[in-house]
Amino acid sequence: MIRLSIPARQALAKLTLPVLIVAAFALLLLGKADALLAERARMGLADVLAPIYAVLSEPLGRFRAMVADTDELLSIRADNVRLHDENERLRRWQSTALALDAENQRLRANLHWMPDPAPAFVTARVVADAGGVYARAVLLSLGPNHTVVKGQIALDERGLVGRVTEVGTRTARVLLLTDLNSRIPVILENSRSRAVLVGTNGARPRLIYWPEGSVPAEGERVVTSAEANAFPANLPVGTVHYNASHVPEVEPAARLDRLEVVRIFDYGLRGIVPPEAGARPAADRRR
């Protein structure tokens, strides 16, 4: 250690903070200039923490399930009545769906319809919230030899969740469709008109850019559009709902606030791929 006189040491100590504040500004610029650097550091840290969170999520999940169970015990009778009704209704729908499916098969056979290829998917556990204060995202834990790449599409059992935006060696980050930066081309199912779904960081993303004359109807189903080759067509997104200030929003079909397991689908779409994804060879990912 270098021996310094006491005044010199005091002067240095006074300088540390200003120098570090300047360095913080430099870090801000660096992070803006080289987004990949921050992303790699982030996913590196996530790779280290994900196994710990995965272990922690087991007892935490059990605790949460216990709380949910006690909640359910209180409303078990009302639930039972509701479920009986719903079951009745669903049984009628099932017969309708089966009839429609058979008709669809027949029509497709007559038309020599080319079926869409069945997409490959992997199922992954959500280990942590990865949004922070100003974003909506989740962190997935994957095996060390996973094949997930950026741009693949995440769905839960009910509908669209979002897209993979960052990939680490054993984790992936999925940007939810409610995030402020999320833009999803959608189709309003009844009118077949196109629109764009814009995240607001709130629970319900907003609909914009629908064509004049075909206003989204309350309760209308919204599905993805194959426009821009970023999503396959007809993935369920949610239903239209007008908020208090009469702005059409979409109630997501997926349960975004309680994601536990999601499926990551590879539709082979390379419509909108982040610029750095091409620079990163596939072999690099499989280390």
* Two tokens, residue 61: 């999940």
Radius of gyration of the chain (CA): 24
Span 176-205, contacts to other proteins by CB under 8 A: 180, 200-202
Choose among 251, 185, 178: nearest CA to 221: 251
Closest CA to 128 of 18, 259, 14: 259
Which residue, chain included where needed, has tokens 């996530």?
Answer: 46
Angle at 79 between CA 156 and CA 75, to 5 degrees: 110
DSSP code of residue 81: H
Nearer to other proteins, 21 or 228 (CB): 21
Assess 42 for contact with other proteins (CB under 8 A).
Answer: yes
> How far is 188 from 203, CA to CA, in rounded Å?
19
CB of residue 24 to other proteins, shortest distance in Å:
4
Task: For other proteins, give the closer residue by CB, 145 or 181.
Answer: 181
Determine, following the binding rule CB under 8 A, whether residue 208 of this chain makes contact with other proteins: no
Q: Closest separation between CB of residue 205 and other proteins, Å?
A: 13
For other proteins, the closer of residues 30 and 277 by Cβ is 30
Closer residue to other proteins in complex, CB, 114/133: 133
The reply to whether 37 sits near other proteins by the rule CB under 8 A is: yes
Among positions 8, 20, 83, 100, the unique one binding other proteins when judged by CB under 8 A: 20
CB 173, CB 212: distance < 8 Å: no
Minimum CB separation of residue 118 from other proteins in Å reads: 32
Position among 1, 6, 17, 76 found at the interface with other proteins (CB under 8 A): 17
Eight-state DSSP code of residue 188: E
What residues between 107 and 146 interact with other proteins by CB under 8 A?
126-135, 137
Q: How far apart are CA 226 and CA 190, in angstroms?
A: 17
Q: What gap in Å lies between CA 201 and CA 203, rounded to an integer?
A: 7
Query: How many whole angstroms separate alpha carbon 222 and alpha carbon 251?
Result: 9
Range 237-266, binding other proteins (CB under 8 A) = 257-258
C-beta of 12 vs 233, nearer to other proteins: 12
- Size of residue set near other proteins by CB under 8 A: 44
In this structure, are residues 144 and 129 in contact, taking their beta carbons and an 8 Å threshold? no
Gap between the Cα atoms of 181 and 204, Å rounded:
14
- 21 touching other proteins, by CB under 8 A: yes
Among 25, 93, 113, 209, indicate the residue that binds other proteins (CB under 8 A).
25
Note the residues at the interface with other proteins (CB under 8 A): 16-17, 20-21, 23-32, 37-38, 41-42, 45, 49, 52-53, 56-57, 60-61, 64, 126-135, 137, 180, 200-202, 257-258
